[in-house]
């Protein structure tokens, strides 16, 4: 049996690192991007069929594609933290499938954040109004 050289060990470690980077970051990003493209194509088909397409839709669709890629990247980033823990059905799902679904359904994914930001901005605007009323009465 031939001895294992340190150069071979380094090459194997670099290959493993590359595979980890690909699986946790690059592929989920691309699958999220693909999900965003799938949503945009489906929406374009519906809008064209109903004759309701407007040029402002281009901006919405461009943002949707970028948010799909971001959602896929977030899934890939967080999926590494979930590995080794038991979450029932989540274990059976592929992180790439979840990244695609996240890219396709960006609205659903970001809805809790939008809710929290609206709630915070309402509280902030209410407190600034009460401060302005106090200044007016003085």
Q: How far apart, in Å, do the first and last CA atoms of the chain sit?
A: 92
pLDDT exceeds cutoff 60 at 131: no
pLDDT exceeds cutoff 90 at 109: no
> Could you tell me how many residues make up the chain?
138
Q: What confidence tens digit (pLDDT) does each residue in 36-84 have? A: 999 999 999 999 999 998 888 899 999 999 999 999 999 888 876 665 5
In angstroms, rounded to a whole number, what is the distance separating the alpha carbons of residues 23 and 69?
15
102: CB partners within 8 A, 6+ apart:
32, 35, 68, 71, 72, 74, 75, 109
In angstroms, rounded to a whole number, what is the distance separating the alpha carbons of residues 8 and 72?
34
Q: Which two tokens stand for residue 25?
A: 């970051």
Q: pLDDT at position 95, please?
A: 85
In angstroms, rounded to a whole number, what is the distance separating the alpha carbons of residues 34 and 13?
30
């Amino acid at each position: 049996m031939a001895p294992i050289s340190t150069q071979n060990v380094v090459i194997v470690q670099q290959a493993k690192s590359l595979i980890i980077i690909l699986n946790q970051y690059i592929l989920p990003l691309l699958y999220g991007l693909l999900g965003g493209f799938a949503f945009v194509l489906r929406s374009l088909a519906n809008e064209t069929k109903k004759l309701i397409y407007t040029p402002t839709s281009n901006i919405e669709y461009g943002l949707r594609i970028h948010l799909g890629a971001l959602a896929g990247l977030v899934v890939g980033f967080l999926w590494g933290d979930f590995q080794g823990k038991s979450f029932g059905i989540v274990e059976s799902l592929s992180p790439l499938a979840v990244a695609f679904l996240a890219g396709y359904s960006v609205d659903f994914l970001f809805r809790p954040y939008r809710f929290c930001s609206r709630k915070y901005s309402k509280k902030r605007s209410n407190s600034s109004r009460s401060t302005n009323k106090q200044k007016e009465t003085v």
